[in-house]
Chains A and B, each alone.
Chain A
Amino acid sequence: MDKIIIEHLSLQYSDGTESLRDVSLGIREKAVTVLFGPAGGGKSTLLRCLNRLNDLTEVKTSAGRILIDGENILDPKTDVIALRRKVGMVFARPVVLPLSIRGNLTYGLELAGEKRKSKLDEAVERSLKLAALWDEVKERLDDPAIALSGGQQQRLCLARSLALQPEIILLDEPTSGLDPISTGKVEAALQELKKEYTIVLVPHSVQQAGRTADYAAFFLQGELVEYGEGKAMFTSPKEKRTEDYVTGRFG
């Protein structure tokens, strides 16, 4: 089943760059969908449309629809705050807030008005376990989060968005700053998470795309070139341009 349906989405930033051109794509529920392609292809832009983070940058024109559970989230009447709780996001560089580990995790819930300590503690433990970080930090939840290693910080950010119990998780090159071992941990966590969540990942390399993708979409200069099952895409792509990129002949 498609959790997200993108219909004829086009987007132009106010400096005139056309970052998405008539993109139509369905994103499956409870699977990892990978958006990949060379730099400037519009992957981040698309991701930021899915939680309306682009509302806050200078966008000149946008057209098309994005349906999540059948509702057009680009509709001006959409409750953006609720949408962002439902659609979590993890960025390329971990942005831990200058708080304790626990504080980082409960932050979003507190903003949403949750005050009961039992609920907050429960969310801390649950989300840390989901992000495969619980064993490493359970002894020091009140230490400053900034003291964690880069890989731990990134998993903390993942846990932070999981604490809000979203349905969809967007990840924009979440492992670009991490060593292979931390990268492996994040990827393993994603494989667990996809049983419950819909995951949209922009990988930081073709190799990672190949390792993680259930479904994959190849973007080139704002255009969706090819979409299909992950395995097929990386072994026998239909399009010449995809093949060139996957085999490393350009990009």
Chain B
Amino acid sequence: MEKTLNWREYIITRLIKASGYSAIIFVLLIFFFLLREGVPALAEVPLSALFSVRWYPIEGDNFGILPLLTGSLIVTLGAAIIAIPFGIGTAVYISEIAPRWMREILKPLVELLGGLPSVVLGFLGILVLAPFLRRFLDLPTGLTAFTGSLLLGGIAVPTVVSVAEDALDAVPRAYREGAWALGATRWQTIWRVTLPAARSGVLTAVMLGIGRAIGETMTVMMVTGNAPVLALSLSSLFSPVRTMTATIAAEMGEVSNGSTHYHVLFFIGMVLFLISLGVNIAASSVVFRAKKRAERILS
């Protein structure tokens, strides 16, 4: 009896360990694959050409990835500016202000929005949003960075809302009551007690939302116009851009295996990987710090 229990214990622990390790191994394998296919780009294209401003890989062997990098950044930045206030605001509304029946409608609705396939949003973007923006803002085309930002913002909002809402929900009721009992208004309590107490969770929500936006491919490919133009000013927010993800998705099917173009696309993949790794590390270090603080408080 004793013995079989020990065996079971042993096997289960091993299985859990193995699945944990394999997750890490998969990530490493993917990264090594990216490295193997992407690093040769550095040998085949001089660095100065790689970080130049012209991306015309087919006609002229111009492999400047800066337009793609700035394209991704401007679309993501726009999305973040939309998604952060809107997402946190919605989370605060759901967890702090809405009456119970409203909360019970809104929460599943947000989850549902989060599960919407991005190609469907792309459709809406092309058919509804882009023509509307073109007429409303009087632009030559509605397929712009801004259109992409709006849609990506929409994609990031459910992520931000559901993670931030959980964080707010986890703030002990006693904190709020403590503030109310001191004569704080509802708004003062939210702004000065509840949100600061949920800070780390809210930050994680923001990071995850941004991560979601950076990696999004389908929607941006459909609505940003895909022109590889360096996007550095505010006006480029309202002209077509091309993002890193859209470039890889659009061109990977057409390149010949092992060509320079192929290697550069992988190099772009590496850059993307590093960016989202950075975002994730930033997010988890925030959470880690907060955890340590919580442990200190408890002990």
Question: Which residues of A are in contact with B by a Cβ distance under 8 Å?
Answer: 51, 53, 56, 58, 81-82, 84-85, 88-89, 91, 93, 95, 97-98, 107-108, 111-112, 146, 157, 160-161, 164
Contacts and interface: CB of A to CB of B under 8 A. Distances in A.
SS of B interface (majority): helix
A82 B183 contact: yes
A88 B174 CA distance: 15
A51 B183 CA distance: 10
B172 to A, nearest CB: 8
Interface residues of B, number: 20
Contacts of A88: 181-182
B61 interface: no
A84 to B, nearest CB: 4
Contacts of A112: 183
B181 A89 contact: yes
B181 A98 contact: no
Given A81-B185, A91-B181, 17 more contacts: A53-B181, A56-B176, A56-B180, A58-B100, A91-B178, A95-B175, A95-B177, A95-B178, A97-B175, A97-B178, A97-B179, A97-B193, A98-B196, A108-B182, A111-B192, A161-B181, A161-B182
Contacts of A146: 297
Nearest to A83: B183
Contacts, number: 55
A181 B39 CA distance: 69
SS of A interface (majority): helix
A242 to B, nearest CB: 30
Interface in B162-189: 172, 174-185, 188
B180 A53 contact: yes
A102 to B, nearest CB: 15
B184 A111 contact: yes
A108 B176 CA distance: 13
Contacts of B100: 58
B197 interface: yes
A163 to B, nearest CB: 9
B180 A111 contact: no
